[in-house]
């Protein structure tokens, strides 16, 4: 709205209010005389006092800012300004009238009546105008929308829909499981039933679109709601989860497709942010693998803690460039150092630690693709074992206070090279913790939704191509959590660990991968089997049907945080570990993958190469059977 338009709007409102003054004043006399003829002497006195009434009340309208607000958005603050202006204006006019006439031929009651009428004449048109706009009286099209959830978020969403003439949504009904809300209305939109009645409500109100306005409910409840929506065959949208909302305001701009994270995510993590800030704030923090899925999110979280300096160490040029651009844009005052380097380059690693002297290290750099690493044993041990040893040794020599290793559930009873190398990395940190002032802490968790190379991006790509979606085995399960949740718990573990611990993150219940595939297909608007098939390909080298979060000898104990558990560390033979690391280094130089695998088996007795053929035969039918598969 430009300056001329603003002036015209204010002038129109001022002329309206000034015109209401004589109407209210003379109507007060008419009411005083019971809607009958006003005696001439009283009428003449009323007209003589009218300029005083006009001037005193009009001045108060301006003084109390009746023209700051916009009629389109008239609200309680506007009403309060009107009440103040009317009371003071009538009070002044009463005082001046008394001084000039001693209120001769002026009934005292007209001032009270004048106040009431003026409130109605000033406030009424404003709120009527807003109501007409909000009701979309001039709107003839739009998708007839059903809102699931008549709570605060649903109310704000509908209000925004009604305000915006350009909105493609036309709200016609609410559904809410709160029986107390049944039969009630919000902004004139009725609450017409509970969620199990959804399919019956759809044809009755000719619904075109369903909107889920339940950002604070559990993922289990969202799964139930989504199944109900899917059964209708109609498109549906949702508000983001409460923890993902930037502000408390809700509008149509926030609506988005339901994501798989909504169905598999958990309750928001409650953290001891004060403890985290005191432990990590104003510290020099180094993150290896800072451009990866976990590393980059750790950097985002750490940046909010205002570290003295944040140092990123990353092997991928593109990943480093991407996270650097993002962090510099989002946190322009962040002291940020970005280093392109390899954790296997011992000289470079030592130089970085000597130059920047980090006080806290998060070691997230690792190779993690299970089937690929089965054929790349040397690369796996170089990066995940010797690279970890290199960073950990440099951290100890630099007097680093905290070293946090990001491990994996695949390190438990490893059935593949990737898991075995991560277990060896855990052993390195446990061994160093026993003879170092640096607090070496390990954090172990399962899969994170949407991480690079994980199953979720793969399924999205396959769905975009029209399928088929490939699942290795119908019974395969995995633990999942979101990347932000995992990183927040890593930060929490870093400040509660004393050194030498293996912390296990509470991953909730495991999820069947076929359920994940089925839901992702449905959320894309496709039908399983009709539009996109799910095919079973058989377990790949190194894959297990299910993962474990702790070894049988690692008895879990609770910690101060309900989502973080402590695994009782198993004894690590320093002599065996030292000898094995020397052999690994020598065999890596000789590029001897076979003997490298043998050394890994000696170092980690529970490491056994997994035989996929025993659990799933490729000769079995590999087309997804079209039957309902319940979530775990």
Query: DSSP states of 517-570 as a string?
Result: HHHHHHHTT--BTTTB-EEE--PPTT--SS--SS-TT--EEE-SSTTEEEEPPP
> In this structure, is residue 620 part of a structural domain?
no
Final residue in a domain of this structure, among 134, 163, 178: 134
Q: What CATH code is carried by the domain that includes residue 538?
A: 3.40.50.720
Going by pLDDT thresholds of 50, 70 and 90, the confidence category of residue 385 is very high
Question: Which residue, among 255, 259, 201, has the nearest Cα to 232 in the 3D structure?
Answer: 201
Hey, which of 241-255, 304-318, 542-556 has the most confident mean pLDDT?
304-318
pLDDT of residue 130: 67
Which residue blocks in 164-241 are alpha helix, DSSP H?
Answer: 198-204, 219-232
| 225-269 confidence digits (pLDDT tens) | 888 888 888 888 888 765 555 445 566 777 777 777 667 765 656
| Signed CA dihedral, 428, 432, 433, 434: sign only | positive
Please tell me which residue, 142 or 437, carries the higher pLDDT value.
437
521-529: long-range pairs with CB below 8 Å, 24+: 521/463, 521/467, 521/469, 522/230, 523/226, 523/257, 523/258, 523/259, 523/260, 524/463, 525/235, 526/463, 528/624, 528/626, 529/624, 529/626
CB 266 within 8 A of CB 485: yes
Could you tell me if 454 and 603 lie in one domain?
A: yes
- What pTM, to 2 d.p., does this model score? 0.64
Could you tell me if 99 and 230 lie in one domain?
A: no
How far apart CA 119 and CA 596 sit, in angstroms, is 88
How far apart CA 572 and CA 2 sit, in angstroms, is 73
Checking if the pLDDT of 336 tops 90, the result is yes
pLDDT of residue 418: 92
Could you tell me if 108 and 164 lie in one domain?
A: no
What are the C-alpha distances in Å from 177 to residues 171, 208, 332? 18, 21, 45
CB 24 within 8 A of CB 93: no
> In this structure, is residue 631 part of a structural domain?
no
Q: Domain tally for the chain?
A: 3
Could you tell me if 326 and 421 lie in one domain?
A: yes
Q: Which runs of E-coded beta strand occur in 119-160?
A: 143-148
CB 427 within 8 A of CB 502: no
pLDDT of residue 242: 56
Percent of the chain whose predicted confidence (pLDDT) is above 90: 25
How far apart CA 163 and CA 177 sit, in angstroms, is 26
Of the listed ranges 343-357, 433-447, 468-482, the least confidently predicted one is: 468-482
Checking if the pLDDT of 628 tops 60, the result is no
> In this structure, is residue 621 part of a structural domain?
no
Give kind and range of the element (H or E) at residue 337: strand 336-340
> In this structure, is residue 630 part of a structural domain?
no
Of the listed ranges 239-243, 380-384, 393-397, 461-465, the least confidently predicted one is: 239-243
pLDDT of residue 8: 53
Checking if the pLDDT of 582 tops 90, the result is yes
DSSP of 402-418, one letter per residue?
Answer: EEEEEEEGGGSS--SHH
Question: Which residue, among 447, 444, 416, has the nearest Cα to 544 in the 3D structure?
Answer: 416
pLDDT of residue 482: 77
Percent of the chain whose predicted confidence (pLDDT) is above 70: 83
Could you tell me if 305 and 397 lie in one domain?
A: yes
DSSP letter at 241? P
How far apart CA 622 and CA 341 sit, in angstroms, is 43
CB burial of 543-563 (b: ≥16 within 10 Å; e: otherwise) equals: bbbebbbbbeebeeeebebeb
Could you tell me if 90 and 159 lie in one domain?
A: no
pLDDT of residue 617: 38
pLDDT of residue 586: 94
What are the C-alpha distances in Å from 49 to residues 93, 304, 361, 623? 9, 65, 81, 91
> In this structure, is residue 268 part of a structural domain?
no
Question: Which residue, among 250, 187, 190, has the nearest Cα to 215 in the 3D structure?
Answer: 250
Is residue 288 helix, strand or coil? strand
> In this structure, is residue 100 part of a structural domain?
yes
How far apart CA 443 and CA 485 sit, in angstroms, is 13
> In this structure, is residue 632 part of a structural domain?
no
pLDDT of residue 632: 34
pLDDT of residue 387: 95
pLDDT of residue 608: 74
Going by pLDDT thresholds of 50, 70 and 90, the confidence category of residue 389 is very high
How far apart CA 77 and CA 410 sit, in angstroms, is 59
Could you tell me if 63 and 160 lie in one domain?
A: no
Please tell me which residue, 392 or 44, carries the higher pLDDT value.
392
Checking if the pLDDT of 209 tops 60, the result is yes
pLDDT of residue 7: 45
Going by pLDDT thresholds of 50, 70 and 90, the confidence category of residue 629 is very low
Average pLDDT on 445-471 reads: 78
352, two tokens: 């970085």
Could you tell me if 310 and 167 lie in one domain?
A: no
Which are the contacts of 378, defined by CB distance < 8 A and separation ≥ 6? 588, 591, 593, 596
Going by pLDDT thresholds of 50, 70 and 90, the confidence category of residue 621 is very low
pLDDT of residue 231: 84
Checking if the pLDDT of 631 tops 50, the result is no
Final residue in a domain of this structure, among 213, 228, 258: 258
Final residue in a domain of this structure, among 90, 106, 134: 134
* β pairing state of 534-536 and 477-478: unpaired
Domain range for residue 94?
Answer: 3-134
Average pLDDT on 568-593 reads: 88
Checking if the pLDDT of 539 tops 80, the result is no
Could you tell me if 475 and 581 lie in one domain?
A: yes
Could you tell me if 507 and 574 lie in one domain?
A: yes
pLDDT of residue 620: 37
Going by pLDDT thresholds of 50, 70 and 90, the confidence category of residue 58 is confident
Hey, which of 20-29, 55-64, 189-198, 345-354 has the most confident mean pLDDT?
345-354
What are the C-alpha distances in Å from 548 to residues 90, 186, 261, 443, 478? 78, 49, 22, 14, 9
Query: Angle between the 76-101 and 40-63 helix axes, to the nearest 10 degrees?
Result: 130
Going by pLDDT thresholds of 50, 70 and 90, the confidence category of residue 1 is very low
Query: Which residue has tokens 């001046």?
Result: 96
pLDDT of residue 263: 72
pLDDT of residue 266: 59
DSSP letter at 396? H
pLDDT of residue 560: 74
CB 461 within 8 A of CB 448: no
How far apart CA 133 and CA 162 sit, in angstroms, is 7
How far apart CA 319 and CA 551 sit, in angstroms, is 34
| 88-139 confidence digits (pLDDT tens) | 888 888 888 888 888 888 888 888 888 888 888 887 777 777 666 655 544 5
How far apart CA 480 and CA 266 sit, in angstroms, is 10
What are the C-alpha distances in Å from 469 to residues 15, 248, 453, 458, 463? 67, 38, 15, 9, 7
Whether the link from the prior residue into 468 is cis, omega within 30° of 0, is: yes
Angle at 475 between CA 470 and CA 479, to 5 degrees: 90
Checking if the pLDDT of 305 tops 80, the result is yes
Could you tell me if 240 and 298 lie in one domain?
A: no
CB 176 within 8 A of CB 114: no
> In this structure, is residue 263 part of a structural domain?
no
What is the average pLDDT value for the chain, to the nearest integer?
81
Going by pLDDT thresholds of 50, 70 and 90, the confidence category of residue 626 is very low
Could you tell me if 359 and 500 lie in one domain?
A: yes
What are the C-alpha distances in Å from 284 to residues 277, 337, 361, 401, 431? 13, 10, 9, 10, 25
Of the listed ranges 9-18, 65-74, 173-182, the least confidently predicted one is: 65-74
DSSP letter at 256? B
Task: Name 56's bridge partners.
Answer: none
């Amino acid at each position: 709205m430009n300056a001329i338009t603003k002036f015209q709007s204010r002038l129109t409102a001022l002329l309206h209010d000034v015109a209401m003054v004589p109407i209210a004043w003379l109507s007060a006399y008419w009411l005083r005389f019971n809607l009958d003829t006003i005696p001439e002497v009283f009428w003449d006195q009323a007209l003589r006092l009218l300029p005083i009434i006009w001037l005193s009340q009009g001045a108060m309208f301006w003084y109390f800012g009746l023209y700051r607000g916009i009629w389109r958005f008239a609200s309680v603050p506007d009403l309060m300004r009107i009440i103040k202006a009317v009371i003071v204006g009538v009070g002044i006019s009463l005082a001046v009238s008394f001084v000039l006439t001693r209120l001769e031929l002026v009934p005292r009651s007209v001032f009270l009546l004048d106040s009431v009428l003026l409130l109605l004449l000033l406030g009424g048109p404003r709120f009527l105008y807003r109501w007409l706009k909000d009701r979309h009286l001039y709107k003839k099209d739009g998708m007839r929308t059903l809102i699931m959830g008549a709570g605060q978020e649903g109310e704000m969403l509908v209000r925004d829909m009604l305000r915006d003439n350009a909105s493609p949504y036309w709200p016609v009904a609410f559904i809410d499981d709160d029986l107390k809300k049944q039969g009630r209305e919000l902004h004139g939109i009725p609450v017409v039933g509970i969620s199990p009645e959804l399919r019956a409500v759809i044809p009755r109100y000719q619904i075109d679109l369903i909107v889920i306005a339940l950002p604070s409910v559990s993922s289990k409840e969202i799964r139930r709601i989504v199944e109900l929506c899917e059964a209708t065959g109609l498109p549906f949208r949702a508000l983001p989860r409460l923890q993902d909302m930037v502000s408390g305001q809700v509008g149509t701009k926030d609506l988005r497709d339901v994501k798989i994270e909504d169905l598999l995510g958990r309750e928001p993590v409650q953290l001891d942010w004060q403890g985290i800030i005191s432990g990590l704030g104003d510290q020099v923090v180094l993150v290896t693998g800072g451009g990866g899925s976990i590393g980059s999110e750790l950097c985002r979280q750490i940046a909010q803690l205002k570290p003295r300096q944040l140092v990123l160490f990353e092997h991928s040029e593109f990943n480093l460039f991407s996270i650097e651009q993002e962090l510099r844009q989002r946190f322009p005052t962040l002291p940020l150092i970005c280093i392109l380097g390899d954790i296997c380059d011992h000289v470079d690693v030592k130089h970085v630690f000597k130059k920047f002297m980090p006080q806290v290290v998060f070691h997230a750099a690792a190779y993690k693709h299970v089937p690929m690493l089965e054929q790349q044993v040397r690369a796996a041990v170089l990066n995940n074992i010797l690279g970890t040893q290199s960073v950990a040794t440099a951290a100890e020599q630099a007097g680093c206070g905290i070293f946090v290793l990001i491990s994996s559930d695949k390190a438990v009873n490893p059935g593949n090279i990737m898991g075995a190398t991560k277990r060896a990395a855990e052993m390195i940190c446990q061994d160093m913790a026993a003879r170092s002032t640096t607090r070496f802490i390990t954090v172990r968790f399962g899969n994170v939704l949407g991480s690079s190379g994980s199953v979720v991006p793969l399924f999205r790509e396959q769905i975009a191509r029209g399928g088929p979606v490939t699942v290795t085995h119908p019974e395969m399960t995995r633990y999942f959590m979101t990347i932000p949740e995992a990183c927040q718990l890593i930060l929490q573990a870093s400040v509660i660990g004393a050194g030498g611990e293996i912390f296990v993150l509470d991953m909730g219940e495991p999820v069947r991968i076929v359920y994940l595939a089925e839901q992702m297909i449905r959320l894309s608007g496709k039908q399983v089997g009709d539009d996109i098939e799910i095919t079973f390909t058989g377990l790949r080298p190194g894959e297990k049907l299910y993962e474990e979060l702790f070894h049988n000898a690692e008895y879990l104990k609770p910690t101060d945080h309900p989502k973080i558990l402590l695994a009782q560390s198993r004894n690590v033979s320093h002599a065996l570990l030292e000898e094995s690391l020397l052999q690994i280094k020598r065999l890596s130089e000789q590029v001897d993958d076979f003997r490298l695998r043998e050394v890994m088996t000696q170092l980690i007795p529970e490491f056994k190469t997994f035989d996929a053929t025993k659990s799933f035969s490729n000769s079995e039918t590999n087309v997804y059977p079209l039957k309902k598969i319940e979530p775990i």
